[in-house]
Structure 1
């Protein structure tokens, strides 16, 4: 986090907001914003817009050659100068094909990865993660084991080779009472490869836990978070966050000037 902020010009006057991604080019040291200029449709020639931050008068430019899709299925994640997101397109009225879209931030070129070829067990709604410098994804599903106990199935896939479109997938079954008694979500992954799971809500008179799961050792650790007092409701969890006084000053200034 740099503590800087910028107000972007409108992408499309006919829309209040456009889905967008933030990418970073580590070679040129530039941040770029990629946004959908119009409603997704493969007939549009100016579907994607791009804006480079740090210029005197940032303006949106059109990008050609994007891969078309019907629905974007995930948030974007930028790893080593490449922006990734999941998308689906309908082959016909009965089937949907899932793909991973790659966008090189520096060259502004798209690449389409066939998920079926990667065999990465891609699931709609997966949380994209940076797993030790490689693109990964995690999805959760509650179910029951052979004796009827409630368990949590964690599916994790990793894109091992982008050029060859090869990947690996594993399914882990978690049965700890703390993690199956309450709904949890994927908060992210640590730099050493631990998947961070968190309870979605803080309930009165109940402890609140954050979980660390290591897929290499299959070890699950739980950490109780205290200090909420009487606070109840939805909780946001950020992984590897570092406080920056400059950022806090910007937030406080913005809060004072907004009405």
Structure 2
């Protein structure tokens, strides 16, 4: 079973993104510069390697050598980066979680042409309370509850290939378990962080039984207990950026056990250590802004951004010093005319800096709204090809790696 699980995991991830072959020999002209030189690697293999890396790592690789810098600047390399990154749509129907993908529109405020969504895969979960993690390096965790067996199930899924792997049960007698999904770009390992939610006297909420499951490597897939020195209670889904998992939480480590502070938990995937950044959060959403953690806040307490007059974007510039930069954007006057009475979800921020919104429920037509804060423009882009999922809840994700 162990070998089968490891083989399934490799197929799950590498079935779509095969690691570059190491059997090639460097060309004679490059080999003469020495096997340890960056130039000893053929250009086509350099491109193949770079395309496997996160965007932030690709930017850092420009410092490796002049050859790598010039390679990254090649027009067809940029096109390859854009081609590998897609919009991903997930929606539930008849006990299945179905996935669609489409290309990400370029310069949407200049071109609002409709884009077509193509069917990718579906996963049957035969249960209730299904939840999705945000995509992490091409993979998603699907969580649901089986009424028949009263079990909570977690499956790691590859929407592009349709492959999935059921994870071992979390070691706990409690029912209320929350889990987060992350990736360590240094060791190239996926990890799942799980903890049991508790509510004690004085209405204090906290967690226990902090556990980690490492995906990859040669060890058997099993949960390991880890220490957590920060009594806290998660308040949001997680977002993984450059090897750090972030989620909103209330923390109890201060003068009174029954007083809490609100902020962000930073879980370092590689070291498995917890840190806390105090920050006013509500109402807000955690986003990836150009490879940095960002908080998008609005000025009233509606469910999603729809009636607000302004947005505040706080970007974590220095994680160790807890330094933030803050910008406030006043929405255009035609905002309410464009969104009408639709309840919107905040999808994320594009590489070009546009803030993207989508309807929480699909109506007659699914669409995205791109807000360019620099130009103060709004663009509505229609999504075609998902007519069968009208009036379903649709989850939209940016920059999904195919």
Q: What SS does structure 2 have at the residue aligned with 1:240?
A: strand
Task: Work out whether residues 142 and 153 of structure 1, in 8 Å CA contact, stay in contact via their aligned partners in 2.
Answer: no
Inter-partner Cα distance in structure 2 for 1:25 and 1:173: 37
Pick closer, same or farther for the CA change 1:213–1:130 going to 2, 3 Å: same
1:44, distance to aligned residue in structure 2 (A): 9.1
Match of 2:317 among 160, 168, 183: 160
Name the structure 2 match of 1:67: 230
CA RMSD of aligned residues (A): 3.2
Pick closer, same or farther for the CA change 1:141–1:232 going to 2, 3 Å: farther
State whether structure 2 residue 198 is matched by structure 1 residue 35: no
Unmatched runs of 5 consecutive residues or more in structure 2: 1-137, 140-157, 302-306
Decide which moves more: 230-239 or 75-84.
Answer: 230-239
List aligned pairs for 1:100-111, cutoff 5 A: 100-111=264-275
Unmatched runs of 5 consecutive residues or more in structure 1: 116-121, 144-149, 245-259
Task: Work out whether residues 151 and 180 of structure 1, in 8 Å CA contact, stay in contact via their aligned partners in 2.
Answer: no
Comparing both structures, which one devotes a greater share of its residues to helix? 2
TM-score (norm. length: structure 1): 0.74
Pick closer, same or farther for the CA change 1:93–1:64 going to 2, 3 Å: closer
Match of 1:53 among 202, 215, 236: 215
Decide which moves more: 131-140 or 10-19.
Answer: 10-19
Deviations 1:170-204 (A, max 9, x none): 33332321125322110122233221101222334
Inter-partner Cα distance in structure 1 for 2:366 and 2:300: 19
> RCO greater where, 1 or 2, for CA within 8 Å and sep 6 or more?
2
Pick closer, same or farther for the CA change 1:12–1:168 going to 2, 3 Å: same
TM-score (norm. length: structure 2): 0.50
Inter-partner Cα distance in structure 1 for 2:193 and 2:258: 31
Name the structure 2 match of 1:147: none
Task: Work out whether residues 195 and 213 of structure 1, in 8 Å CA contact, stay in contact via their aligned partners in 2.
Answer: yes
Q: What SS does structure 2 have at the residue aligned with 1:47?
A: strand
Inter-partner Cα distance in structure 2 for 1:209 and 1:142: 24
Which structure's CA Rg is the greater one? 2
State whether structure 2 residue 165 is matched by structure 1 residue 6: yes
Name the structure 1 match of 2:326: 169
Task: Work out whether residues 48 and 62 of structure 1, in 8 Å CA contact, stay in contact via their aligned partners in 2.
Answer: yes
Task: Work out whether residues 28 and 106 of structure 1, in 8 Å CA contact, stay in contact via their aligned partners in 2.
Answer: yes
Match of 1:124 among 267, 282, 291: 282
Task: Work out whether residues 46 and 64 of structure 1, in 8 Å CA contact, stay in contact via their aligned partners in 2.
Answer: no
State whether structure 2 residue 261 is matched by structure 1 residue 97: yes
Q: What SS does structure 2 have at the residue aligned with 1:178?
A: helix
Pick closer, same or farther for the CA change 1:62–1:192 going to 2, 3 Å: same
1:56, distance to aligned residue in structure 2 (A): 3.9
Q: What SS does structure 1 have at the residue aligned with 2:348?
A: strand
